[in-house]
Structure 1
Amino acid sequence: MSDYLVKALAYDGQVRAYAARTTDTVSEAQRRHQTWPTASAALGRAITAGVMMGAMLKGDDKLTIKIDGGGPIGTILVDSNAKGEVRGYVTNPRVHFDLNEHGKLDVAKAVGTNGMLTVVKDLGLRDFFTGQVPIVSGELGEDFTYYFASSEQVPSSVGVGVLVNPDNTILASGGFIIQLMPGTEEKTIDEIEKRLRTIPPVSKMVESGLTPEEILEELLGKGNVKVLETIPVAFVCRCSRERIADALISLGAQEIQDIIDKEGYAEASCHFCNETYHFSKEELQQLKQLADAKEE
Structure 2
Amino acid sequence: MNNYILKTLSYNKQIRIFFMENTDMIKEICNHKNISKTLKTALGETVSIATLMSGTLKGNQRVSIKINATNRKYKIFADVDSMGNIRGYINDALLNAPLDTINNLYVEELIGDKGCIQVLKDLGMHNIFTGITDMPYRNIIDDFSYYFKQSEQIDTIFSVNMVYNEYNEITLCRGIMAQLLPGAPINLIDTIKEIISENQSILSREIENFKEIPFLLFRDIEIVEQYPVQFICGCSKEAFYPMLYSLNKEELVDAYKNEKPMEIVCNVCGKKYSFSPQEIRNLTQ
TM-score, normalised via structure 1 length? 0.79
Quick one: distance in 1 between partners of 2:36 and 2:6? Answer: 29
Quick one: distance in 2 between partners of 1:186 and 1:150? Answer: 15
* Counterpart selection for 2:270 from 271, 274, 292: 274
> What residue in structure 2 maps to residue 214 of structure 1?
212
Deviation at 1:175, TM superposition (A): 0.9
User: What SS does the corresponding residue of 2:56 show, helix, strand or coil?
Assistant: coil
Deviation at 1:97, TM superposition (A): 3.7
1:39 matched to 2:67: no
Call closer, same or farther: CA 1:25–1:147 in 2, change over 3 Å: same
Deviation at 1:42, TM superposition (A): 1.5
> What residue in structure 1 maps to residue 61 of structure 2?
61
Quick one: distance in 1 between partners of 2:136 and 2:194? Answer: 23
Deviation at 1:248, TM superposition (A): 6.0
> What residue in structure 1 maps to residue 203 of structure 2?
205
* Counterpart selection for 1:234 from 222, 230, 234: 230
1:141 matched to 2:141: yes
User: What SS does the corresponding residue of 1:207 show, helix, strand or coil?
Assistant: coil
User: What SS does the corresponding residue of 1:185 show, helix, strand or coil?
Assistant: coil
Quick one: distance in 1 between partners of 2:6 and 2:205? Answer: 18
- Superposed CA offset, 1:93-114 (max 9, x none): 553348xxxxxxx321233232
> What residue in structure 2 maps to residue 129 of structure 1?
129
Quick check: 1:113–1:138 contact (8 Å CA) kept in 2? yes
For structure 1, list consecutive stretches of 5 or more residues without a partner in the other structure. 99-105, 290-296
Q: Which moved more, 1:113-122 or 1:186-195?
A: 186-195
Deviation at 1:189, TM superposition (A): 4.7
Call closer, same or farther: CA 1:241–1:53 in 2, change over 3 Å: same
1:96 matched to 2:74: no
Quick one: distance in 1 between partners of 2:26 and 2:171? Answer: 10
TM-score, normalised via structure 2 length? 0.81
Quick one: distance in 2 between partners of 1:159 and 1:73? Answer: 27
Quick one: distance in 1 between partners of 2:80 and 2:278? Answer: 36
> What residue in structure 2 maps to residue 293 of structure 1?
none
Residue-pair matches, total: 274
Q: Which moved more, 1:108-117 or 1:65-74?
A: 65-74
Deviation at 1:179, TM superposition (A): 0.1
Quick one: distance in 1 between partners of 2:17 and 2:73? Answer: 30
5 Å-filtered alignment, 1:72-87, equals 74-87=74-87
For structure 2, list consecutive stretches of 5 or more residues without a partner in the other structure. none
Deviation at 1:194, TM superposition (A): 4.3
User: What SS does the corresponding residue of 1:55 show, helix, strand or coil?
Assistant: helix
Amino acid at match of 2:174: G
Quick check: 2:5–2:18 contact (8 Å CA) kept in 1? yes
Deviation at 1:64, TM superposition (A): 1.7
Quick one: distance in 2 between partners of 1:5 and 1:179? Answer: 15
> What residue in structure 2 maps to residue 103 of structure 1?
none
Quick one: distance in 2 between partners of 1:134 and 1:210? Answer: 39
1:243 matched to 2:239: yes
Deviation at 1:15, TM superposition (A): 0.8
Quick one: distance in 2 between partners of 1:211 and 1:148? Answer: 31
Identity %: 28
1:225 matched to 2:232: no
5 Å-filtered alignment, 1:135-174, equals 135-174=135-174
1:70 matched to 2:70: yes
1:22 matched to 2:12: no
User: What SS does the corresponding residue of 2:233 show, helix, strand or coil?
Assistant: coil
- Superposed CA offset, 1:212-257 (max 9, x none): 54343344x22x2222221223322111123334x469x69xx896
Amino acid at match of 1:238: G
- Root-mean-square deviation (CA, aligned residues, Å) is 3.1
Quick one: distance in 2 between partners of 1:32 and 1:57? Answer: 29
Quick check: 1:41–1:163 contact (8 Å CA) kept in 2? no
